[in-house]
Amino acid sequence: MQALKPTLWRTTSRLTLFAFVGAILIVGSYHSTRQQIVHNEKMTLLQTLNGLIPPSSYDNDLVNDSIEMENRAFLGSAKPMTIYRARKQKQAVAAIINSIAPDGYSGNIYLVVAVNYDGTLAGVRVLSHQETPGLGDYVEERRSKWILGFNQRALNNPEEAGWKVKRDGGVFDQFTGATITPRAVVKAVYKTLLFYQQYRDAIFVEQVSH
């Protein structure tokens, strides 16, 4: 038994060392991978934002110049929603507002609504949804050009009565066999514009130094 003790000690020491080295490698790999994931997520987000606000129109760090505001009545969620702020030479250019259409056919439709400083729409995109494939998913830009119909619209273009799908007396097209989805998106975009009109000064009041 005494003769086995040095062997057992060496074996235990080696296993402990291997475990320690393995733990260091795992931690290092995690941090390296995590940094890459964060970077990739930021680039994907920036690509989405630049699809709405051209990079030439702003000179700030669009991803990091953001605030969170909550307003269930206008933004469709009681939780804080992120708003990205585009500026050029420290002057406000546009706000890109995350909002939710809570009354889609299959639940929440998550939107990003870009509003120029003067209140006109720079563009709208659907980030995610659970709408019926082949019907409600036509709100996606990759599926149809319908979402581009919001470009350059504003609260007075059309007037309030026009902010509905045509079946309800408005100016926006609906989809064959799917009215609920576009109806929900039109309503949410209009409410987001109302939010921007009411809170524009509060959105841009905070300056950041990124």
Q: What is the pLDDT of residues 138-189, one digit of tens each?
A: 999 989 999 999 999 999 999 999 999 999 999 999 988 889 999 999 999 9
Q: Is the pLDDT at 11 greater than 90, yes or no?
A: no
Contact call for residues 79 and 187 (beta carbons, < 8 A): no
Q: Is the pLDDT at 111 greater than 90, yes or no?
A: yes
Round to whole Å and give the CA distance between 99 and 83: 9
The domain segmentation of the chain, as residue ranges, is 1-50, 55-205
**Mean pLDDT for all residues in the chain:** 87
pLDDT band per the 50, 70, 90 thresholds, residue 210: very low
Q: State the pTM of this model.
A: 0.80
pLDDT band per the 50, 70, 90 thresholds, residue 43: confident
Contact call for residues 75 and 195 (beta carbons, < 8 A): yes
Round to whole Å and give the CA distance between 49 and 112: 9
